[in-house]
């Protein structure tokens, strides 16, 4: 192979990476974490304890995932939870993210997505769920940013369950999402590749509306909607 061809090939391979806006995103893309997720009842597990964006210590947070023929199961566990702080007036799809939530952002594919599912749950088991359209991939100021709410989660096969253990400062929420949301047909999940990120917000009556933010793959701004930071996940 001539050197001209090799340079041409390298340029073609490198273009999608170096074509990204902003050098920080290129670095983040190379560094994002990955995880293999097995079929249930086995679990793929991560723990994170870094804040967004400065990666300072953050209360440990665990996420366990597995898949079956029709659904993706995600268990969120918040350790060292001191406040269990939520707004008791909030109902489904109200701004629960202003208080304490655990969240997943989920996309099936390998690219940095423009469209992905955002799912949140609060300590009183209220949920927030929408498909996001974020064509700038970083929720750039002035760019389009839209959301399409899921208004009947039970109909779609979404479930959630929450238990609080205030003595031991643990909050656990378990959710199930239909694989059909991501165009994975029944029984066809093995081998699929995903981009996801997981987040937790902490606030209290004393510091509200300020929050401390944590993530599995911390973005470099206090902004969860930066899909180049989503980690890589394989179903195995």
Ligand X SMILES: *[C@@H]1O[C@H](CO)[C@@H](O)[C@H](O)[C@H]1NC(C)=O
Q: Are 66 and 44 in contact (CB under 8 A)?
A: yes
Q: At closest approach, how far in Å is the CB of 186 from ligand X? A: 14
Distances from the Cα of 26 to the Cα of 13, 14, 18, 110, 193, angstroms = 14, 11, 7, 15, 20
Instruction: Considering the complex, state which of residue 19 and residue 191 has its C-beta at the smaller distance from ligand X.
Output: 191
Q: At closest approach, how far in Å is the CB of 191 from ligand X? A: 6
Instruction: Considering the complex, state which of residue 10 and residue 188 has its C-beta at the smaller distance from ligand X.
Output: 188
Q: Contact residues for ligand X (CB under 6 A)?
A: 39, 87, 89-90, 94, 125, 127, 159-162, 190-191, 207, 210, 236
Instruction: Considering the complex, state which of residue 87 and residue 114 has its C-beta at the smaller distance from ligand X.
Output: 87
Instruction: Please classify residue 131 by burial: count the beta carbons closer than 10 Å to its beta carbon, then call 0-12 exposed, 13-18 middle and 19+ buried.
Output: middle
- Compute the distance between CA of residue 228 and CA of residue 16 in angstroms, rounded to an integer: 12
Q: At closest approach, how far in Å is the CB of 47 from ligand X? A: 23
Strand partners, 147: 132
Instruction: Considering the complex, state which of residue 2 and residue 89 has its C-beta at the smaller distance from ligand X.
Output: 89
Q: At closest approach, how far in Å is the CB of 27 from ligand X? A: 27
């Amino acid at each position: 192979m001539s050197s001209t061809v090799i340079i041409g090939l390298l340029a073609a391979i490198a273009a999608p990476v170096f074509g990204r806006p902003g050098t920080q995103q290129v670095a983040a893309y190379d560094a994002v974490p990955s995880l293999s997720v097995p079929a249930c009842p086995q679990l793929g597990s991560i723990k994170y304890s870094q804040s967004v964006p400065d990666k300072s210590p953050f209360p440990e947070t665990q996420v366990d995932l597995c898949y079956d023929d029709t659904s993706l199961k995600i268990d969120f566990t918040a350790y060292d939870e001191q406040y269990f702080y939520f707004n008791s007036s909030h109902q489904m799809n109200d701004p629960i993210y202003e208080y304490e939530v655990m969240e997943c952002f989920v996309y099936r594919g390998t690219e940095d997505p423009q469209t992905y599912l955002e799912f949140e749950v609060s300590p009183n088991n209220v949920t927030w769920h929408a498909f996001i359209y974020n064509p700038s991939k970083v929720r750039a100021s002035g760019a389009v940013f839209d959301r399409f709410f899921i208004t009947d989660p039970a109909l779609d096969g979404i479930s959630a369950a929450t238990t609080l253990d205030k003595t031991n400062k643990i909050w656990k929420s378990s959710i199930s999402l239909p694989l059909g949301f991501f165009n994975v047909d029944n029984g066809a999940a093995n081998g699929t590749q995903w981009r996801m990120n997981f987040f937790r917000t902490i606030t209290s009556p004393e510091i509200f509306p300020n929050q401390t933010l944590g993530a599995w793959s911390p973005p470099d701004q206090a902004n969860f909607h930066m899909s180049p930071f989503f980690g890589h996940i394989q179903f195995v």
